[in-house]
Each structure stands twice: as structure tokens, then as C-alpha cells.
A and B are shown apart, each in its own frame.
Chain A
Amino acid sequence: MSRSPLSLVALILPACAAQAAELSVSVEIPRLDVAEYHRPYVAAWVERPDRSVAAQLAVWYQQSESREGHGTKWLPDLRQWWRRGGRQLDVPVDGVTGATKAPGTHTLRFGAGSQAVAALAPGSYVLLVEASREVGGRELLQIPFEWPADEARTLDARGEHELGTVSLELVP
């Protein structure tokens, strides 16, 4: 079968667009009025429709040893993340893992040259953000999106207890 030059262009264009595209993820960690507060463990990743992991964006956990053992002991509490690739990951990972964050909004930007963006072929994806807090609860938010975006857009999901607003900003 021979392809017309036009359909070739149609095939190449989205790929070029994807290479220039960017995404950023904002995660709000709510300020909680509780007697014993520990910063939550948080993971953000991107899944394909078959639930395989397309990109690990961030994992924030306690990086040090304490009386209760190393911080990695509690990583399986990020249950979905652990199942969807966390347990295969050899932490720490440069550019992905980091220390836990204080309440407030934290933004992660993934530019055109980033590994995360490079890993996203055009298609449908879901952004997942999971938080788990010691002596607290766990929450998982999902934002489905198409990549690359046809226009600049911001998609939101709002948590109820362990997460505030999570937003995904897509730049075509």
C-alpha cells in the first residue's frame, strides 16, 4: 500500500506537536487541623488506557531513617502507585523522587525536553495523584486527558481530605 504525501504529513504532524508540547501538574496539599500531623507521601504518574505506566512524574517520601525505620518502609501505603510500578522502581530516582512537601500548592513542570514528555506518544492517558499520610488517610485523584492537547487547557480534580485541588495544565 502506498501512502499519499498528504497522509504522511498527517502522521508526522501530531508527533512533531507532541515533541513541542509541555505539561505541568499542580498538587495542593491541604493544611489539616489534626493533633498529630505528618506530611503526606505523594505520588504522581501517568497511565495508559490499559493501566500500564507511561511516566512516573513524582514521588515524595521521607528520605531518611527514623526510629520507625527507613522512609521507604511506608511506600506501599501509596497503594495504587505501588501496584502500578512503584514496587518495580529502584528508589531514589533522579528527577522523580524527593522529600515530602509542606501544605501548599506545588507545581511540577515537564518541558518539551523532559523524559516524561518524551515518553508520551499521542493518545489517551490518565494522570493519577495519590496521597497517603501517616496516622491519616489516603486519597487518589484521576484526571483523564488527550495528548497532545489541541489547545492550551487546564483540567482539575478536587480532593476531599488528603489532597486539595490537583490541576493538569497542557500546552500544545
Chain B
Amino acid sequence: MNASLRRLVLVVLVVLPLPAFAHKAWLLPSATVLSEGQWITVDGAVSNDLFYFNHVPLRLDNLVITRPDGSAGAYSGGHTGKYRSVFDVELDKPGTWRLAIINEGLFASWTENGESKRWRGSEADLAKALPVAATDVQVTRSHGRIETFVTAGAPTTAAMKLQGSGLELVHDTHPNDLYAGETTRYQFLLDGKPAADVEVEIVAGATRYRSRLGEKRVTTDAEGRFEVTWSEPGMYWLEASASSTLEGDALASQRRASHVVTLEVLPQ
């Protein structure tokens, strides 16, 4: 391998996003708009196509269910198979529920004996993993959210409270109140601050039955705001990722955060 090719490989390695972001991760609820006291079943998968199970399941380890009053909810029947995970939730309280997989961790790269190494793990494990001889150590804090919302009865907002960490989406219109032909305004926040110039990708489901992906791409403005006009009803996948430099962090120099939300747009 000549020097320029080696440099290219190195650049590709550094620029490549985390493996989990190379495919599309999502939660897919059986319904988003329900009357009170119903059950939903939810699929979770990481796939190339929307919303089909064809790659790996989405692990349920970091699943956080938020009930309409903000308290933690539970699921039953959790199962992780070859291509997807499945779980059921009894919507035993009226209002809006949030289902979220929240993954937090560290991503590190370094050089050891002239070879570049990559590692993922928790903060506690980094010290053990990092060899004494490592040079060019780069540590990134990663934070990923994969969310969806369901509402029993009238929509509420307590479960949508912002947490101030990671890449979070402020919904100007309630996520279970989206209708074809209407325009919805959003704002992305990175660790609680407006996330400017973030590219947002929006893809409608049922990709198997059309030849063009037809994705929409919008970029957030200086305030982190953007808007989406829902041309057709359907289930949509909205994704964005953002990175920033960390100042005054003893461990990491970079921050990388991603956000995925599955949204259902109903016909008029």
C-alpha cells in the first residue's frame, strides 16, 4: 500500500460514521393514534429499507418508555430475533407516550505500534481498553436517540419533555397530529442548544414498492429550525446527526449525536 492510499484508508476510517448509523435504525409502532386503554406492539430494527426487517434487530437494552405523566413505563413480551426486536406496551394512561432507545457511549481511535485502532464502549471501560503505548488518541462522546410517539385519546406533551442531552427534536406540532398536505415546524437542539446547519433526512416508508428513495433533505437554520411539508400520508423516518468540539472535557475532544424519529402522517 503506498503512502497516499494508506492516508486515504485512514481518512475513510476516521470519517465513517459509527456502524449503527450506516443503516437505518427505527422503532415502528403498530398504531400511533388510539383510543384509551389499548395495547400496541412495536418492532425495532436496523435495516437498509424502510420499514423492512432485513439486517439486524434493534437491541432493547436501552429502551426507555415514558408515560404521559413523565413517569417510566414498562413493556412486556420483549423478544429479539434474527432481524427485529418486538415488544408490547399497554397504554394504561391516556395521553402521549414516548418510546426511545437511548444509546450513550464513547468512541475512541488511536495508533499502536504504527497501526490505527478503533474502539467503542462505556466510559468505565476506556481506561482498560486503551494501551499505554497508544498515541494520537481521539475520543468522541456519542449519543443516539431512536424515538417514536403514540397517543391514547387526546395528545399531551409531558412525555416529550426535553432532557438537554444529545440531539433532541422540538416538535412545534404534536408528533401524533400530522396530516398529509400540512407543514410542520421543528427545531433541533444539541445538548440543549440550537443545532445550526444540521442536515435532516426524511424518507417515507414502503421503499420496496418504488424505484426512487425520494428522500427529502433539509438543513437547519441558525436557530436549528426547519420545516417539513408532508405531501403524502404514511409512516416516515426522520434522521439527523450533529457533531461538535468539546471544550473542557477531560476525556473526549469530540461530541457526536444522532436522532431518529418515526412519524405517522395520516390522510385528511
- A residues near B (Cβ < 8 Å) are 69-70, 72-76, 79-80, 82-83, 87-88, 140
| A74 contacts across to B, CB distance below 8 A | 35
B235 to chain A, nearest CB (A): 15
Residue B179 is within 8 A (CB to CB) of chain A in the complex: yes
Whether A87 contacts B154 in the complex (CB less than 8 A), given A79-B266, A82-B33, comes out as yes
Contact: A76 with B33, CB < 8 Å? yes
Contact with A along B228-268 (1 / 0, CB 8 A): 00000000000000000000000000000000000000111
| Distance in angstroms between the alpha carbons of A83 and B33 in the assembled complex | 9
Chain A residues contacting B177 (CB-CB under 8 Å) are 83
A70 to B268, CA, bound (A): 26
Q: A85's closest neighbor in chain B, by CB?
A: B154
Ordered by A's residue number, 27 sampled pairs between the chains whose C-beta atoms are within 8 Å are A69-B38, A72-B35, A72-B36, A73-B34, A73-B35, A73-B38, A75-B35, A76-B31, A76-B33, A76-B34, A76-B35, A79-B33, A79-B266, A79-B267, A80-B268, A82-B33, A83-B179, A83-B266, A87-B33, A87-B35, A87-B151, A87-B153, A87-B154, A87-B155, A88-B153, A88-B154, A140-B268
What sequence of 0s and 1s flags, for each residue 163-203 of chain B, a beta carbon within 8 Å of any chain A beta carbon? Answer: 00000000000000101000000000000000000000000
Rank and list the top 5 A-B pairs by shortest CB-CB distance, nearest first.
Answer: A87-B154, A76-B33, A88-B154, A72-B35, A75-B35
| CA distance in complex: A74, B38 (Å) | 10
CA distance in complex: A69, B38 (Å) = 9
**Residues on the A chain within 8 Å of B268, using CB:** 80, 140
Most chain B C-beta atoms within 10 Å of own C-beta, residue among A76, A88, A140: A76
Nearest chain B residue, comparing its CB with the CB of A72: B35
For residue B84, give the distance in angstroms from its CB to the closest CB of chain A: 25
Q: Within the assembled complex, what's the spacing in Å between the Cα atoms of A83 and B177?
A: 8
How far is the CB of A81 from the nearest CB of chain B, in Å?
12
User: Which of chain B's residues have a CB closer than 8 A to the CB of A82?
Assistant: 33
